[in-house]
Structures are given as structure tokens and as C-alpha cells.
Amino acid sequence: MVAILLGILVFIVAIIVWLHPKDNRHKVPPGPKALPLIGNLHMLRKQPHRTLQALAAKYGPIMFLKLGQVPTVVVSSPEAAELFLKTHDLDFANRPKFQLELWRGEKKGQRDVVTRTNEEVSEAEGEIDGKRMRNRVAMAAKFGMGEEGRMVVGWDGNLVKFLLRMLRDDHDHDDNNNDDVVVVIYMDKGIRKKVHKLRKPINEALEHIIEDHQNTNYDDDDDSPQKKDFVDILLSFLDQPMDPDEEQHKHVLTRNDIKAIMMDMIGAAYETSTSAIEWVMSELLKHPSVMKKLQHEIQHAVGGINKEVEENEIENMPYLDMVVKETLRLYPVAPLLVPHVSRNDVVIEGYYIKRNTQIIINAWAIGRDPRVWSENAEKFYPERFEHNNVDILGRDFRFIPFGSGRRGCPGAQLGFATIKFVVAQLVHCFNWELPFGMSCDELDMNETFGITIPRTTHLLAIPTFRLTAEAASNKE
Ligand code: HEM
């Protein structure tokens, strides 16, 4: 009986608090009413970036929600993003503690997508020499992605081969479908799920990289080709206290910590770039005139169709720059960036934001804001970037696919360059068309929400090699 009475009392208090949440001393940003316990979680649905955009249209660019018990401020305009990521950058530089779990829980069902894709792939078998074509596409893509492997963990291209092999081996085991003709541009999207399954070989690979670095003798000479990299710097802190000011030195940097950091860097680098490349290729297939214009530019910059693209030629491809920017505007890989957390109590635009409030920046909504990008904001139109110099690296808050400020993406320049390089190779080396007589209007452009927004279905496309035989024999 007492328990029932207590329960009723708690319920009444919760209702009263819910109906009268206003604390007159501290004005919180406007937002929808939160339910007891779940707060506003029930409102988010499957596409939180879209739901939050719609809610911001009602409550404004600085909006308060409760996600479960987590007080959250959602930022949805360039002006507001600047206040949070520049003016008060340091105040919002923390990250949530649960982030790792959230990251790990991502992408359930990826396996199903890959399996379904294989069934579709097998329908088109026999049209052309699939294996050869797949190798060429992988080669063209790897040419760019290899650079990332080297720069992130200093493993000269082998990392890409290793990861691609893991995917392919796993894939082939399942259905023995080696000679697929339609190329599935998924690259390494299923990696996170496979990472779990393939912990042992990944551990071996990371050990291999670490040993490689430990066995390298570096020459202090500035001109030496053997330079210290990110992994060397991590190794120089091995077994040292993470916080030298901490008296008992309880936390030291272990070999496992270093491997975890390396894996995070690899994850942050690969999944983001491949998702972006898939969206660029989708938009190009949907807009054949843009594809043609881009092929024309690349061919001109490279000097014909008898060779592949070289890295230093990318800077002579302004249209490629616009195409990639336009894709990242419409499909910022991390639509809500990565959550920030306030380190102090802060007042912004008259709103009181308590310490430990989660901050979500809706980069997806900002990129599609018609106030900023005109009425055709939803349209893929690379030329909008033609006569303006909109910065992509976080200095222009109308466009922040890499975030901004001290928590902005440290790999932004590398990521942007990699996307451009891989796309340039794929577009220059091949003509592309949609399979099964599909018209460009029929191409599904739906996204699936997670930390990143990949396509809901993998992009299937048929490549035809367009370079001369001379260029092909140089590569094979
Ligand atoms: C298309 C490629 C990429 C995109 C779109 C992208 C996007 C992002 C975004 C939106 C954030 C969060 C920023 C924020 O919360 O304000 C981020 C963080 C991060 N990115 Fe990237 N990224 C890409 C490539 C890379 C690469 C190549 C690397 C590594 C070499 C990398 C490493 C990281 C790391 C370590 C963080 C966490 C930074 C921190 O918490 O301080 N990213 N990235």
C-alpha cells in the first residue's frame, strides 16, 4: 500500500515538474516538452537529422531537448554554430562519455545489405570480364585510398590491401561469388561489423604496424625519406603517464591504448571517406551531364585518356572541387557531427546552458538551409560553388562537414583530398551506368542514420574501361 502511494506521489511530482519546468533564474533555450524518463527521445524517429531540422523550424536554431536524461542543445544555423564552435569553442570542447558504446552499436543489419547486394550482383553475371574489371576499379580506388593508409598509420598501402582482402575473403566465403560484374561501390562500409568478427587478424595487423615502427631506425636528417609519423609519436609515450600532473600516475599509455587509438583513426578515416565517395558517385550517376562535364575537365587536366590521374593534377580540377563540396553539403558524412559537451555553465544569446549539456550541431540542416543556399538548396547543383570561395575546412559556418574549432576533424584536409583523388580516378578511368536498365530517376537516394549517413542500399553501377590499352597495360 505504501509503495503504491509513493508511486502515485512520484508520478504527481513528475507531472508537476513536467508542466512547470521553467526556472526563472535560468532561461533555457526553447524546445518541445519532454516526457518523464524518456524526455524527447520518442520524437527523434529513424532520421533524427531530419526530425531535428523540422523541430528547429518551430523552436529556433538553438533548441533544448532531453534525450532520455541527457540535457541536449541542438544547433541548426550557421550563426548559432559559430557561437558554439568558435566564440565559445573551449566551453564546448568535451565529448560525451558514452560515445564509444554509441559508435560500437552502429550499423546493425549491415550484413543483410551486403548479402542482398550479392544476389543482385549475380543477376548481371556474364556480361563482361567481371574479375578483371573489379580489379581495375579496386586499383583505381586504392590508388587514392592507399595514401590514407600510409598517412594515418604509416603502413605503406598494405593496410588498404589488408582491409580490402578481409572484406573480400569474408564476402567470398559466404557465396563464392568471385566474378561479379556489377561493381558494388561499398568498399569498406561493413568494416565496423567485421571488425568485431576479425578482432584477431586486426590485432595482428596492428601489432605488425607497431613492430615495423619499433624496428625502424630514423635518421634525424631532415631530407631523410624515413620520417617519424603519428604511430611513432604515440610509441614515444608508451608506458608513460597519460597525465603527467596526476600524482599517482594511475593511467599510463599502454600498447592496447595505442592500438585502440590507431583503430579509431583508421575508422574515422576510412568509413567517412568511403561513404562520401559513394554519395559523389550516386549524384554523378543521377546527373549524367555533371558526370560528362567532370570527365571532360579531368581528361583535359591529365592530358588525355592514355594515363591515370596523378595526385598533383587534382589542383587543376576546380569542377571536381565543386562536385565534392556540393555532395558534402547535401550529405555531410556525420550529419550531426560528433556530440560536444559543455565544460562550464555558459550563457549564449541569453540562454543558460548548464555544464555537462550535450551539444548537437545539425550540419545536415545547415547545409540545406534555404536562407543560406537559396530556394534550390535541396538540388544537387555544383555550380553554386563556382564564384564563391566557400571554405570546407571549418572557417565558413554555412558549410561544416568536418566540424570546426578545436574538436573539428584533424583529418579534414586528407579526407577531402582523398575523396577528390578517388573520384577523379573512378570517373576518368571508367564510364559508369546504372544496372538492369535503371534510369537515373529510379536510383534510390535514401540515407540511413547513424554516426555517419551511408546510403540505405549500396550503389550498384556498371563500369566500362575508357582509357587506352596503353594506360591499362601500365597498371596491370
Ligand atoms: C570525408 C572524410 C571525413 C569527414 C567527412 C570527417 C568528418 C569528421 C567530423 C564531422 C568530425 C567531428 C567534428 C566535430 O565534432 O566538431 C570528425 C572528427 C574526427 N575525425 Fe574526421 N572526417 C573525415 C576524415 C578523417 C580522417 C582522414 C581522419 C584521420 C586521419 C579523421 C580523424 C578524425 C578524428 C580523430 C576525429 C575526432 C576529433 C576530436 O574528437 O577531437 N577524419 N571528423
In a shared domain, residues 309 and 427: yes
For residues 22 and 198, the model is more confident at: 198
| Domain range enclosing 326 | 110-191+269-332+378-475
Pocket flag, ligand 1, residue 265 (CB < 6 Å): yes
In a shared domain, residues 31 and 171: no
User: Quick check: 92 pLDDT over 50?
Assistant: yes
212 alpha carbon to ligand 1 midpoint, in Å? 26
User: Quick check: 188 pLDDT over 50?
Assistant: no
What integer pLDDT is reported at residue 42 of this predicted model? 92
Residue bearing cell 583535359:
300
- pLDDT (tens digit per residue) in 232-267: 888 988 988 877 776 776 778 889 888 888 887 887
Residue 299 identity: Q
In a shared domain, residues 322 and 342: no
pLDDT band at 410; cut points 50, 70, 90: confident
Hey, which of 325, 359, 402 would you mutate to test ligand 1's pocket, going by the most ligand atoms within 8 Å of its Cβ?
A: 402
Above pLDDT 70, what percent of the chain? Answer: 71
412 alpha carbon to ligand 1 midpoint, in Å? 6
- pLDDT (tens digit per residue) in 19-72: 555 554 689 999 999 999 899 999 998 899 999 999 999 999 999 999 999 999
pLDDT band at 13; cut points 50, 70, 90: low
User: Angle 158-175/199-214 helices, nearest 10 degrees?
Assistant: 160
Does 207 map to a domain?
no
Find, among 462, 428, 466, 457, the residue nearest to 181 by Cα: 462
- The answer on whether 409 is annotated among ligand-binding residues is yes
Calpha distance 152→135 (Å, rounded): 24
Q: Flag the least confident range among 143-157, 202-216, 235-249, 333-347.
A: 143-157
Calpha distance 130→179 (Å, rounded): 5
Q: What is the CATH number of the domain that holds 343?
A: 3.30.43.20
Hey, which of 272, 337, 421 would you mutate to test ligand 1's pocket, going by the most ligand atoms within 8 Å of its Cβ?
A: 272
Give the pLDDT mean for 168-173: 43
Give the pLDDT mean for 469-476: 64
410 alpha carbon to ligand 1 midpoint, in Å? 6
Hey, which of 341, 399, 409 would you mutate to test ligand 1's pocket, going by the most ligand atoms within 8 Å of its Cβ?
A: 409
Domain boundary among 320, 344, 367: 367
What integer pLDDT is reported at residue 385 of this predicted model? 96
Nine-digit cell string for 21: 519546468
Q: Whose CA is nearest to atom 40 of ligand 1?
A: 407
Q: Flag the least confident range among 92-106, 314-328, 353-367, 369-383.
A: 92-106
- pLDDT (tens digit per residue) in 366-389: 999 999 999 999 999 999 999 888
For residues 361 and 133, the model is more confident at: 361
- The top-scoring range by mean pLDDT among 27-36, 110-119, 154-163 is 27-36
What integer pLDDT is reported at residue 94 of this predicted model? 93
User: Quick check: 137 pLDDT over 70?
Assistant: no
In a shared domain, residues 273 and 352: no
What integer pLDDT is reported at residue 228 of this predicted model? 77
What integer pLDDT is reported at residue 474 of this predicted model? 64
Q: What is the DSSP letter of 353?
A: E
User: Quick check: 153 pLDDT over 70?
Assistant: no
Calpha distance 322→383 (Å, rounded): 7
At 36 the three-state DSSP class reads coil
Calpha distance 460→69 (Å, rounded): 42
What integer pLDDT is reported at residue 178 of this predicted model? 33
In a shared domain, residues 305 and 391: yes
Find, among 429, 437, 411, 165, the residue nearest to 299 by Cα: 429
- pLDDT (tens digit per residue) in 278-306: 999 999 999 999 999 999 999 999 999 98
Does an H or E element contain 209, and which?
helix 199-214
Does 230 map to a domain?
no
For residues 262 and 314, the model is more confident at: 314
pLDDT band at 193; cut points 50, 70, 90: low
What integer pLDDT is reported at residue 432 of this predicted model? 95
For residues 136 and 26, the model is more confident at: 26
Does 93 map to a domain?
yes
In a shared domain, residues 311 and 342: no
Pocket flag, ligand 1, residue 333 (CB < 6 Å): yes
Does 231 map to a domain?
no
| ipTM of the prediction | 0.99
In a shared domain, residues 460 and 393: yes
Residue 170 makes CB contacts below 8 A (sequence gap 6+) with 194, 197, 198
Does an H or E element contain 67, and which?
strand 62-67
- Cα of first residue to Cα of last residue in the chain, in angstroms, is 81
In a shared domain, residues 99 and 120: no
450 alpha carbon to ligand 1 midpoint, in Å? 15
User: Quick check: 122 pLDDT over 90?
Assistant: no
Ligand 1 atom index nearest CA of 273? 1
Does 4 map to a domain?
no
pLDDT band at 472; cut points 50, 70, 90: low
Average pLDDT over all residues of the chain? 79
Per DSSP, the residues of 422-452 read: HHHHHHHHEEEE-STT--GGG----B--SSS
In a shared domain, residues 149 and 77: no
In a shared domain, residues 41 and 161: no
Does 128 map to a domain?
yes
Residue bearing cell 524517429:
45
Residue bearing cell 540535457:
71
Number of H helices, E strands in the chain: 18, 9
Instruction: List, in sequence order, every beta strand (DSSP E) within 4-148.
Output: 62-67, 70-75
The answer to whether 271 and 192 have CB atoms below 8 angstroms apart is: yes
Residue 393 makes CB contacts below 8 A (sequence gap 6+) with 402, 408, 412, 413, 416
Does 206 map to a domain?
no
The total domain count for the chain is 2
User: Quick check: 404 pLDDT over 90?
Assistant: yes
Q: Flag the least confident range among 105-119, 188-202, 300-314, 341-355.
A: 105-119
In a shared domain, residues 301 and 385: yes
Does 185 map to a domain?
yes
For residues 165 and 311, the model is more confident at: 311
User: Quick check: 406 pLDDT over 80?
Assistant: yes
In a shared domain, residues 63 and 127: no
